[in-house]
Amino acid sequence: MIDEGKLECVLDGAPAVEALQFMQDLIHRHRVWPEQLPPGASFAGGQIAIQEDAPAGLGNRRREIGDKFTWDVVMHPRGKSGKQYVAAGGGAGWTIDAATKAKDAAWVFLKHVTSREEQTRLCQAGGTIGSRRSVMTDPCFLQTPPEHVRLFVDGAEYLHMDVRVAGWADVEKVFNEELAGLWSGQKLARQVAAEIKAKVDPILKQGAREAAG
Q: Which pLDDT score is estimated for 44?
A: 92
Q: Which pLDDT score is estimated for 88?
A: 76
* pLDDT band (50, 70, 90) for residue 151: confident
Evaluate if pTM is beyond 0.85.
no
How far apart are the C-alpha atoms of 211 and 208, rounded to whole Å? Answer: 5
Residue 206 has pLDDT above 90, yes or no: yes
In this prediction, what percent of the chain has a pLDDT beyond 90? Answer: 49
CB-based contacts of 211: which residues, under 8 Å, 6+ apart? 166
Closest CA to 182 of 19, 4, 6, 3: 19
Q: Which pLDDT score is estimated for 127?
A: 67
Q: Which pLDDT score is estimated for 51?
A: 85
DSSP state of 9: E
| Domains of the chain and any CATH numbers | 2-211 (3.40.190.10)
Mean pLDDT calculated for residue range 84-104: 82
Query: What average pLDDT does the chain have?
Result: 89
The 10s digit of each residue's pLDDT in 115-139 is 999 989 888 887 677 778 888 888 8
DSSP state of 156: G
Residue 205 has pLDDT above 90, yes or no: yes
How far apart are the C-alpha atoms of 173 and 191, rounded to whole Å? Answer: 17
Mean pLDDT calculated for residue range 161-189: 93
How far apart are the C-alpha atoms of 162 and 48, rounded to whole Å? Answer: 27
* pLDDT band (50, 70, 90) for residue 30: very high
Q: Which pLDDT score is estimated for 160?
A: 78
Closest CA to 74 of 154, 140, 134: 154
